Every structure is written in structure tokens, then in C-alpha cells.
Structure 1
Amino acid sequence: MENKKAGNIHVRFATIDDNDKLLKIERESAQEGNIWLVAFREDFFGRLKYFEEGFIMIAEDAYDIIGCIGVGIEDLIVNGESRKGIYLFGLRTNPKYRLKVARWLKSIIQELQRLLGPTDFDFGYASVKADNVASKKILEHMGFSTTATLDFYACPVRKTRNEKSVFFERELDLETILDLYKPLEKDYDFLLQGTKAFESMVAAGRLRLFKTEGASALVLDTSGEQDFGITRLSKGLRAFQLLAQGTLSPLVRIPRMNERLRSWDVLLFGWDDIRSARKT
């Protein structure tokens, strides 16, 4: 795609040569709210491998990147039927150009509309922290509206001995993963219909299956790929953090400010009873 000019703003596909600049912008652009989060990644393009199709678009002015956005295209199961969805992610603005958000965003929206068209997909979606007001306003400007608010739970690392009754499989094949997801298609939305994402996870050896009697959990190890840090906390949470570091640190690992944190994402979690779930 040739550079498109909108005033003095150009929109183009990002290339691997832009990686370092995009990572720098990401690290300087925290996700705001009660907890400010900043990403620590080595490859800005890493998330694209989980989509059937995808690309990163950037807006630049005088050879300096102003902002960027990622686009992932995939087939999803919605209401029991296959739908083509477009997922927008990695929306970042260079802190030096905060006052130009409206301008570069308009340019990218126009280019996306030209590229994708209204008939090439069934819907578009994105996710954002509920208290990240700035990002929500940007998405609203792009025509998005809030359809649901989901709760995500973070479980800290406990300094305890391993539970002997829990077993885990480190090497999983694609067939095993698909067998776990197949029964869910009738009851859950936004399940992947394609296998590209799972193929990438299996190839990288990042999936773990934990099992105990009466419960199981499929986990994606994102450490080193989607690490993050906390750069700022609300006054109440900051006070709790300082208190916890002094009282709970012998039992639970309390992260420090700006510390690089690794995480695992629980993709599937099923149990027969609460006791089994707690063990897993």
C-alpha cells in the first residue's frame, strides 16, 4: 500500500523496521485508570501470529510515528454460527503528539474503510480497560459502543508448596485443544472457528493443561511475550500495595512499581466442585 496523505499525515502498513519505534511508543503510553499498565514486549508484531489475517497500520508526520493500531481478522462462532470479525488492538499514540489524536485517527479510519469496506466482515470489536477513559473516547470516535463489561481476575503467585494432586501436561497437540473447545460452540460466543491461533500456541510450546480430580484448566503462558508493569496506582491502591508488601510478602508475591511482570492466561477452567477448583 502506498503512503496516503491527509494534510501532512501519512498512513501506511507498519514494517519490521518500525518495531523498535513502536515498542518505545508503547512503553511510554501507559493504559490509564486506577491501575496504569505499561507493556514490556520485544516484538510489537507478535500478536499477529494468532490471527488468520492481520496487519499494523501507522500514521506518521515528517518521518515520526504519531500513532498506530493493529487489525486482526478471524472467523468466530457467534450465536452458533460462523461470523467474520475484525479485532482492533494495540491502539497507541506517541506521547509527543497527544494533541493530534483526532487528526491521525481520522486518517487511519478513512484508510481502514477504504481497505476493508462495509461488506467484507460482519462486525468489528475491541477491548479496553473500563476505567481507561482516554482509550474509550477514541474507540467511541471510531463508532464503537460499549456492549458488555467483563470481569478479569488476577491471581497472585503464592509462596506455597506445589499441590501434589495436580498434574499438568506441558506438550499438547492441536487435536487435544480442539476437543476441549468443540463442546462449547453451542453455549459460548466468540470462540475461534479457525485453528491459526492454536497452531501458533502449540508450535511455541506455550499451552499447559492442569488437571486434578474434578477440575481442569487450559493455560496460555504469555511470559516474555506479553509482560507488563504497573507505573501508577490510585492513592487507595498505592496505600494497600505498601501495606501488603510489609504484611503479606511472606505468603504472596506483591509486585513493585515498574517491575516487569510475567503472566499466564487461563483460557478454559472447568470444575465439578469448589474444592477441586481451588486445588487447580
Structure 2
Amino acid sequence: MASYPVFQVSPEEAAKGKWYMATAATNHMTRDQSLISDLKPVTGRVISRGNGAGLKVHGSGAVNTETVAIPDVWHVPGINANLVSVPQLSLLGLNISFDRGGCTVTRASDGSVVGKARRSACVRVALSLVFSRSSRPRRLGLATAADSSEMASYPAFQVSPEEAAKGKWYIATAATNHMTRDQSVISNLKPVTGRVVGGGNGAGLQVHGSGAVNTETVAIPDVWYVPGINCNLVSVGQLCQLGLEVSIFRGVCTVTRASDGSVVGKAHRSGAVYEELFAIVGVYEGAQHASEEEDELSRTNREQSR
């Protein structure tokens, strides 16, 4: 079954027609039929948000507005935001790279930039994506960050209970933080109170604690313990804040250190999601050190400007 994530986006922001990058969306999707040209009916297609709930796909076609030009977009009235599917872009031979500044889409053939997006201020890792007019994706401009809610967010992936029980980790653009449902994998667990993560549909899950995860394949600091989520999540936004870059191309997700390009993690596409193969904490610590240096420089500059 096809799947989609639910972003923490208010109805007011959704009504503005912004588009958001989604690793958990199998296809580009919009709730607004008026945006689609050459709409063709689709029957018998249902998409799921990971908890068993299904939404019907009513049709498909191309979106061509002043700011968005995307082929093969599904019309799904029930979704709460317009979604650009990272897997679908990747299959077109495009490379999608996330860093601290946002997202860049390039042609793999010549490295030319065909799109850009920036990280939203409140939907912290849901990237607003804007295409210029074209029959094919060509160029993207920056979209204004959504200002909807300060609640942390998470996507609900289409992962079976059997797969979730295996302890796999999944790359997520729609997760504000790394999260796990399994307390046993967290070391030095510290209690967290008053923190709730939302799935975008108003439902909230309580964060019970945070700590580091150190297993044979995954070593990640600052992971939230959220018993109610349906799978373990690696937050793209949190990786980027550590000075790491996340690149997705033809079914492979690679995490590198921005300073020297060394590979610190990999994931591969499995259906509609990207399963984390490994992540190495040693490099994360180096990235954290670089982040702390930047914070110190910012504090110094602020003091000098007073």
C-alpha cells in the first residue's frame, strides 16, 4: 500500500498551498484538485499513514502554477498538506541533499541545481519546496517558513508491527528529533516532562525521556523515548544541525560530514521508507564539536555588537 506522512501543519498554513519534502511519501500528492492539469481518474488506489487509516486517491496529473511544476501528482483530498515525494524525485535521476540551510535538488548527470528549499521554522524538518514553471522540474525558489505550531512532530510510516519489532531505524524529514519506542536501547536515560510530539492530525504523544542509542549498527546521541510511535526514527533536521549532510539518490541515503565529506551513515530504500544501515557516533561527536564552536562564535559576535 502507498503511504504518506502527516505533517504538523495548521489549516491556515495548508490553505496557502505550500509544498513539503517527504521521505515517507511514495508519490507527490496534493489536496487541491484545482492545481492539477490533465487530471486522470484513479480507481482502487488507497494510501495509508502507517496506522491503518486509508485515504482514497481520486486522480493524477501534472501541477503547473507560477511556483510549482511537478509531473505525476496524485489528488488526495484527505491529506493535510501538499507533499513532494523524495523517493519519486530520486527515481527521476535527481539527487536530494539536506544540510543545515535546507534542501538542494540537483541533476545527477551534470550536477546542475534544479531546486532549492529551506527548513521551516516550526515544522522544523518539513521543507517547503517551490518549483518554477516547467514541464519538468527545473528550478526551485525559497519558500517562507510556516508559522503554525511549536509542537514537535513525527511521521507515521507504513511499517508493519513485525518490521517495527526488528528494531530498524528509518530516515525521516518530518521528525523534529530522533525517536525510539524501545527504552531498552537508550543508555543514560534522562526523564523528560511536558514534551509532546504531534503527528499533524492533532494527536499528541508524550516524550518520556532522552538519551543515547548505542547498538551494533546505530549510535546516535540525543534520542527521545516515545513509546507511542510505530517505529524508530532518525531525524534529518537533527542530523543537519550537527553539521552533517544527508543525500538521497536512486534508493540510497548517505550521511556525510560537511567538513571533509567522510561517510558516517547509510540507509537504503525499502518500499516507501529508508532503512538506516549504520550510523557512527564518533563522527557525530566531531560534528557536535563544530556546532558548539559556531555557537560560541555567535555568542562572541553578539557580545561585541553590544
Q: TM-score, normalised by structure 2?
A: 0.27
| Higher relative contact order (CA closer than 8 Å, sequence separation 6+) | 1
Which structure: larger Rg?
A: 1
Q: TM-score, normalised by structure 1?
A: 0.29
Q: Greater helix percent: which structure?
A: 1
